[in-house]
Amino acid sequence: MQYPEAIAKLIDSYMKLPGIGSKSATRLAFYTIDMDEEAVQQFADSLLRAKRDLHYCSICGNITDVDPCEICRDPNRNQEQILVVEQPKDIMALEKMHDYQGRYHVLHGVLSPMDGKGPEDLNIAALIKRLQKSDVNEVIVATNASPEGEATAMYLARLIKPAGIKVTRLAHGLAVGSDIEYADEMTLQRAVEGRREI
């Protein structure tokens, strides 16, 4: 027996999400059918709204519903430090520790020759432009401790240091291969405090 088309399509849609295989997708699809119509409507609305209202900050690349984002607009944040992360969700993790008062820049990925991802595929040109017309004296590279994250940090250091700007890397209280987004606040705090120049 084949599923009715509406269910098959729903399963297909769920399967496009990361980490969802056909079994989970099928379970979610049947769960959705059992939800009352109002809840389904709310779910659909929140998907559309997130897609319509959220975009990337034109300065730092963070996800925001206002441009520039809240952090870039905040006059109390230190103009002299920029902390570079791979993904917007890394900013959320770092902001939770309430310790860092500088600004951010989101690369939207890391250098990965295997996947054909070069510097021009990342939000690097905007970072260099930012550095040229600001008083930044330190760029803290907080890419993950993966080989690609390390290579990206080295690439950025080579690019930025000749301009006389200090480039630092988070200390490895973070285990190799561990992701910023999953690190707890204490670990992140120690990693930021113990950062070293590269």
Residue ranges that bind Zn ion, judged by CB under 5 A: 57, 59-60, 62, 68-69, 72
Residue 81 CB, shortest distance to Zn ion, in Å, is 14
Min CB(137)–Zn ion separation in Å: 19
Q: Which is nearer to Zn ion, 117 or 130 (CB)?
A: 130
- Tokens 């760029």: give the residue: 139
**Cβ atoms within 10 Å, residue 25:** 18
CA distance 89 to 68: 17
Q: Nearest approach, Cβ of 4 to Zn ion (angstroms)?
A: 45
Residue 112 φ/ψ, nearest 5 degrees = -150, 85
Decide: residue 167, CB within 10 A, 0-12 exposed, 13-18 middle, 19+ buried: buried
Which one, 69 or 111, has the nearer CB to Zn ion? 69
As a whole number of angstroms, the distance between CA 168 and CA 140 comes to 5
CB of 166 to Zn ion, least distance (A): 22
- Between 62 and 144, whose beta carbon lies closer to Zn ion? 62
CB nearer Zn ion, residue 66 or residue 186? 66
* Distance from C-alpha of 118 to C-alpha of 102, rounded to nearest angstrom: 27
